[in-house]
């Protein structure tokens, strides 16, 4: 499917993690990729950087949380719109088609909610789903949507569900990343020292993340 998305280098990507960038490089080796480090400041900087690259279109890529209980880990998301601070940003229909929204079975559309913070608990996911009407959530797409709208640049989102709506993540999941998008071992180890009982939940999260990336890799391999 990578060949459907313009030519390599003609699309820019905003991701949260180094692992997501590494996956993209297998399919878009020349494309500009900005890594947010899963922080508000990093996402804003990354979106602004992509606007200066001159690429015709931009895409928010990576893992997402499910807000709809029907979305299991590995579900591919190509949202119709992104919601940030109560504002709706429609995704480009042309970019959505190029990403496979109308061609690949099993792809979920709907609206994706932007969050500035990691949403850890199932209760908060349920609340956000009810308040926003969105079916999924991430921490980068809102900044890219706003920057793309300002620059009059078509944008889209290609994400895969990692943690489902009914799962509460361990506290370490909210502090386990470094600002460069890698694993922050210091914060992770400190959190585990305070509460070693998080280990099984972290292992499950890691397994789901691996499964989600595998599902995305298979999706990117799909061709006409």
Cα–Cα distance, 46 to 15 (Å, whole number)? 9
CA distances from 54 to 14, 28, 96, 157 (A): 14, 16, 20, 19
Cα–Cα distance, 157 to 61 (Å, whole number)? 6
Task: Report the CATH number that the domain containing residue 36 is assigned in CATH.
Answer: 3.40.50.1580
Question: Hey, which of 39-43, 61-65, 186-190 has the most confident mean pLDDT?
Answer: 61-65
Residues 6 or more apart in contact with residue 143 via CB below 8 angstroms: 14, 36, 40, 43, 44, 46, 47, 84, 114
Number of domains present in the structure of the chain: 1
61 neighbors 13 (Cβ within 8 angstroms): yes
16 neighbors 61 (Cβ within 8 angstroms): no
pTM: 0.87
Domain limits for position 114: 2-221
Q: How confident is the model at residue 174 (pLDDT cuts 50, 70, 90)?
A: low
24 neighbors 16 (Cβ within 8 angstroms): no
Could you read off the pLDDT of 109-163 as tens digits, one per residue?
999 999 988 899 999 999 999 999 999 999 999 999 999 999 999 999 999 999 9
């Amino acid at each position: 499917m990578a060949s459907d998305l313009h030519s390599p280098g003609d699309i820019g990507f905003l991701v949260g993690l180094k692992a997501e960038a590494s996956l993209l490089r297998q399919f878009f080796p020349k494309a500009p990729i900005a890594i947010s480090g899963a922080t508000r400041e990093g996402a804003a900087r990354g979106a602004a950087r992509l606007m200066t690259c001159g690429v015709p279109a931009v895409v928010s890529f990576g893992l997402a949380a499910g807000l709809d209980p029907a979305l299991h880990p590995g579900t591919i998301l190509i949202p119709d719109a992104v919601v940030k601070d109560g504002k709706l940003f429609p995704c480009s229909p042309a970019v959505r088609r190029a990403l496979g929204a109308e061609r690949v079975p099993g792809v979920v559309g709907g609206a994706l909610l932007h969050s500035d913070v990691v949403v850890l608990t199932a209760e908060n996911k349920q609340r956000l789903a009810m308040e926003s009407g969105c079916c999924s959530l991430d921490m980068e797409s809102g900044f890219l949507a706003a920057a793309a709208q300002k620059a009059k640049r078509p944008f889209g989102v290609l994400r895969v569900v990692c943690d489902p709506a009914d799962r509460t993540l361990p506290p370490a999941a909210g502090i386990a990343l470094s600002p460069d998008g890698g694993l922050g071992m210091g914060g992770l180890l400190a959190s585990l020292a305070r509460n070693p009982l998080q280990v099984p939940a972290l292992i499950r999260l890691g397994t789901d993340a691996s499964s989600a990336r595998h599902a995305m890799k298979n999706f990117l391999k799909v061709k006409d």
